[in-house]
Chains A and B, each alone.
Chain A
C-alpha cells in the first residue's frame, strides 16, 4: 500500500496567526513530497516541492517566506502558513513520491481545509 496522512484535516484560525500542517507517508519513505493548494472548483496548483534534507523548491509566484516548508525526515514534511490572512483560506493537499525513475508514483494525502477569519 501507499498511505499518506495529513494533520489536521480542518483548521480555523484568526488572521495574523501561523498554522502548521503535517504530511506523513505512513508505509513508505518519501525523499520528495509536494504541496498543492486548491480553491473551490479550480484545478490543483502546485506550490512547492519538498526534498528531505534540503531546501524546498517553490513554484513561481509562491512566497517562500509565507509558506515555510520543512522536510526533516523521510516520512514527514510540514507546511507552515505564516501570518495567515483570509485570502489564504483554501484546501491544502500534500503528496508523496513513491519509487523512482520511470515507475515513480505520487500518492495524495486527504487534504487540510484552512479557514482564516
Chain B
C-alpha cells in the first residue's frame, strides 16, 4: 500500500523564523511531488511542485527532494502569520491512472 507520512503536528514557530516540514513516501515509483496549503474551510492550494532530486525555490518557499531516501521537505523562510494553515504533502506516479496520495497534513501556526 502506497503511503505518505508527515510529521505529526501541530508545528508552532515565531514570526520570521524558518518552518521546516517533512514528508516520506513508500512508493519508489513516485515521480511527482507536491506541497499543498489548506486554510481552514478552504480547498487545497498548490504551493510547490518538484519532480527531480535537489532543491527548488520559489520566493520564501524551498522544496527539497531526495528520491534515494524517499524524502521530500518544504522550508518556509521568514514565516508570517498568514502562513498558518495545514500543509499537505502529496505524491503521484506517472501514468494515465495516476492519483495523488496525500499525507495526513501538518498544521503550522506562526506566532506574531
Contact = CB atoms under 8 A, between A and B. Distances in A.
Contact of A108 (B32, B44, B49, B97): B44
Size class of the contact patch on chain B: 20 to 34
Contacts of B96: 32
A108 B43 contact: yes
Interface stretch (A14-22, A41-49, A66-74): A41-49
A43 B103 CA distance: 9
A104 B92 contact: yes
Given A102-B94, A103-B32, A103-B51, A44 B99 contact: no
A25 to B, nearest CB: 14
A79 interface: no
Main SS class of interface, A: strand
Interface in B30-50: 31-32, 34, 36, 42-46, 49
Interface string B76-112: 0000000000001000101011111010110000000
Given A104-B92, A108-B44, 10 more contacts: A2-B46, A32-B96, A34-B100, A44-B88, A91-B43, A104-B98, A105-B32, A105-B34, A106-B100, A111-B43
Given A43-B102, A103-B32, A103-B51, A93 B97 contact: no
Contacts, number: 50
Given A43-B102, A101-B94, A93 B32 contact: no
Size class of the contact patch on chain A: 20 to 34
Interface string A89-117: 00101010000011111111111000000
A103 B34 CA distance: 11
Nearest to A102: B31
A39 to B, nearest CB: 13
